[in-house]
Structure 1
Amino acid sequence: MSAADGWLLAGLVPLLGLVPVLWRIACGEPRDRLIAQNLACLLAALALLLTAQGFGRPAYVDVALVLAVLGPTGTLIYARFLGVLPGSPVVRWTALAGAPAVVLPLCVATGPGRAAVKLLLIGALLIAGSLVTSAGSRSEGGRA
């Protein structure tokens, strides 16, 4: 088994995690769908980072960067329409454990340079975005 196969096998973990999340997006209450959308963006970005290394395609890292920026933004926009931002410890702990577990080995594999800085930026955006969008709103009743 080559190193590329290892990265691709590691990329399967977040992809397999997407299966129940996508089911919740398709068949869930609006609050559950919002949480699942947030988690789906996080898992998809992590899978893209791993597959970028496995396939040797740096362009996939750019797509992960776009997801890291637009995923939490979309969550906040939909939360505004719902009137409440539901808290989610699953999203929070997935970001706090998953992003460093993916980004730090990728930084070691790519070596020092611009690509490592880009990976660290993506990891920071994934963690910060997930922490903001999974914190929940103070009032559960929402505002008009």
Structure 2
Amino acid sequence: MSAADGWLLAGLVPLLGLVPVLWRIAYGEPGDRLIAQNLACLLAALALLLTAQGFGRPAYVDVALVLSVLGPAGTLVYARFLGVLPGSRLVRWIALAGVPAAVIPLCVATGPGRAMVKLLVIGALLMAGGLVTSAGSRDEGVGA
């Protein structure tokens, strides 16, 4: 088994996590769909980062960068339409534990340079976006 195969297997973990999330997006209540959309963006960005290393395709990292910026922004826009931002412990814990668990080994494999700085920026954006959008609004349950 080569190193590329290891990265691709690691990228399979967030992809498999997307299956129940996509189901929730399709068939959940509006609040659950919003949380699932937030989680889907986080998992997709992690999968893109890991598969970029496995396939040797730096362009996938650029897609993850765009997703790390637009994902939380989209969550906040939809939360504005719903009138409430539901909190989610799952999103918070994946942002706090899953993002560093993926980004730190990628930084070690990449080595010092611009690519590592880009990975650290993406990791910081994913963590910040996950924490902000999983906090929930203070007036949950109160009509807007």
TM, length-normalised to structure 1: 0.98
Percent identity at matched positions? Answer: 88
Structure 1: any 5+ residue segments left out of the alignment?
Answer: none
Name 2:121's counterpart in structure 1: 121
1:20-35 equivalences under 5 Å are 20-35=20-35
CA contact (8 A) 1:83 1:141 kept: no
Q: What is the root-mean-square deviation of aligned Cα atoms in Å? A: 0.8
Amino acid at match of 1:39: L
| Letter paired with 2:72 | P
User: What's the counterpart of residue 61 of structure 2?
Assistant: 61
Q: Aligned equivalents of 1:67 and 1:143: distance in 2?
A: 30
Q: Mind listing any 5+ residue stretches in structure 2 that lack a counterpart?
A: none
Say if 1:41 and 1:68, in contact at 8 Å, map to a contact too. yes
Instruction: List aligned pairs for 1:125-136, cutoff 5 A.
Output: 125-136=125-136
TM-score by length of 2: 0.98
Map of 1:1-144 to 2, 5 A cutoff?
1-142=1-142, 144=144
Greater than 3 Å deviation, 4+ residue runs: 141-144
Alpha-carbon offset, residue 141 of structure 1: 3.4
Aligned length: 144
Q: Distance in 2 between matches of 1:141 and 1:79?
A: 13
Inter-partner Cα distance in structure 2 for 1:33 and 1:12:
23
